Amino acid sequence: MRKLFLMTMAVCAMTFASCGNKAAQSENAEATEVADSLNDATTELAAQLAAGDVNKFQEALTAAQAKVAELLENNPEQAQAYLEKVQNYLKENAEQVKSLVGDNEIVSATVNTLVETPAQSIINNLKSVVGTTEDAANAAVQNANDQVDAAKQAAQDQVDAAKQAAQDKVDAAKQAAQDKVDAAKQAAADKVNEGANKVNEKVNEGANKLLKGAGLK
């Protein structure tokens, strides 16, 4: 009986040791995965920034946002760390990014949103709309598309405002010209009326003299 007990305890100890090893391996694997993920966070951004391809750079930004949403489902802390690394990269390379983006308002809006919005706020916004990993990725893509639409609308608003301002100037110039024409016409009419009045006065004076001379007045 004692031998059986000792054998049972030995088996239990081996089982616990095995479970412990598996748990440790799992934790190590997860830690490695996290480290690799963070290392990859800016790899594609750096590659496209170096290549000088603004369209590919935009795709890398969208992919980074999608990755944040994907990580959020199982590991919010990792998702935030990933996002913060992307944000720090954009801030540290702000001048180079600005030079690449140039007057591309769509990419500029995406970069500005990522840089200026606190990581926790972005994470909270994603938490409120995402469910599954697929939903998370779709939400990130939709968020990027919304930024694109907002940038397009802002650009269109600026164009419309510029057109309206130009049209207002044209209308004002036309009105000013018309006012001058009207004023000139009025001045001419006033002179004509003034001349006509003087002629009438002289005619009346002559008529009065004739009447007086004829003893009719």
36-89 tens-digit pLDDT: 556 677 888 888 889 998 898 888 888 888 888 888 888 888 988 998 999 999
Which span out of 24-28, 155-159, 188-192, 207-211 was modeled with the highest average pLDDT? 155-159
Mean predicted confidence (pLDDT) in 2-25: 44
| Between 135 and 102, the higher pLDDT residue | 102
Sign of CA dihedral 141, 144, 150, 151: negative
What does the alpha-carbon distance between residue 104 and residue 98 come to, in Å, rounded to a whole number? Answer: 10
pLDDT tens for 153-203 read: 887 888 888 889 888 888 888 898 888 888 888 887 788 777 777 777 776
Residue 9 has a pLDDT of 41
| Per-residue DSSP letter, 117 | S
- Report the run of H or E that residue 4 belongs to, with start and end: helix 2-40
Give the CA radius of gyration of the chain: 41
Residue 28 has a pLDDT of 42
- The confidence band for 138, taking pLDDT boundaries of 50, 70 and 90, is low
What does the alpha-carbon distance between residue 127 and residue 120 come to, in Å, rounded to a whole number? Answer: 10
What does the alpha-carbon distance between residue 43 and residue 195 come to, in Å, rounded to a whole number? Answer: 89
What does the alpha-carbon distance between residue 123 and residue 83 come to, in Å, rounded to a whole number? Answer: 9
Residue 131 has a pLDDT of 53
| Between 16 and 60, the higher pLDDT residue | 60
What does the alpha-carbon distance between residue 51 and residue 57 come to, in Å, rounded to a whole number? Answer: 9
Residue 206 has a pLDDT of 67
pLDDT tens for 75-131 read: 888 988 998 999 999 999 999 989 998 888 888 888 888 888 888 888 888 777 655
pLDDT at 133 over 60: no
Amino acid letter, 43: T
CB 68 within 8 A of CB 40: no
- In the block, tokens 């089982």 appear at 15
- Of the candidates 121, 117, 53, which has an alpha carbon nearest to the alpha carbon of residue 91? 117
pTM equals 0.46
Count of C-beta atoms within a 10 Å radius of residue 129: 14
| Between 10 and 189, the higher pLDDT residue | 189
What does the alpha-carbon distance between residue 86 and residue 182 come to, in Å, rounded to a whole number? Answer: 65
pLDDT at 24 over 60: no
Mean pLDDT, all residues of the chain: 75
